[in-house]
Amino acid sequence: MAIRVQADDFDIGAELAALTEGDASIGGVTSFIGLVREMGSGPSAMTLEHYPGMTERQLAEIEAEANRRWPLQASLIIHRYGRLEPGDRIVLVATASKHREAAFESCHFLIDWLKTRAPFWKLEETAEGSQWVEAKDSDDAAADKWQQR
């Protein structure tokens, strides 16, 4: 189980290889990679801010909940902060389990809860100006569906 909050980019292949290294009992790995997309017209960027220490604790709680719900062999959350441009990687969530269903469901759960419960703030910069990104009802609904399970 690993959690990292960092400014630097990450190598997806190397991270997934490290996640499964030495564990031949793993039968499935699922991953989600979040990217910065273009916003509006013209040049754009996104700046992600967080509270060091508090962010890692919250991510650890989310990861612990996934491990309570599913039989995971390994899990990984890497989330970047700082100024990122379209095409840059923001987040990598990966889960590994003996069976694919646990890997799929737990990865989906982690990204849904991370999106709504992790203390990150996003400032979008576009040609029209900069603005803080508000929480979306659709993100809350995605996270809430896991409350019923």
Predicted local distance difference test score (pLDDT) of residue 77: 97
* Model pLDDT for residues 89-145, shown as the tens digit of each residue: 999 999 999 999 999 999 999 999 999 889 999 998 888 888 888 877 787 777 778
Residues 97, 71: contact at Cβ < 8 Å?
yes
pTM of the model: 0.91
Domains of the chain: 2-144 (3.90.1170.40)
Q: Which of 93, 88, 116 is nearest to 33 (CA)?
A: 93
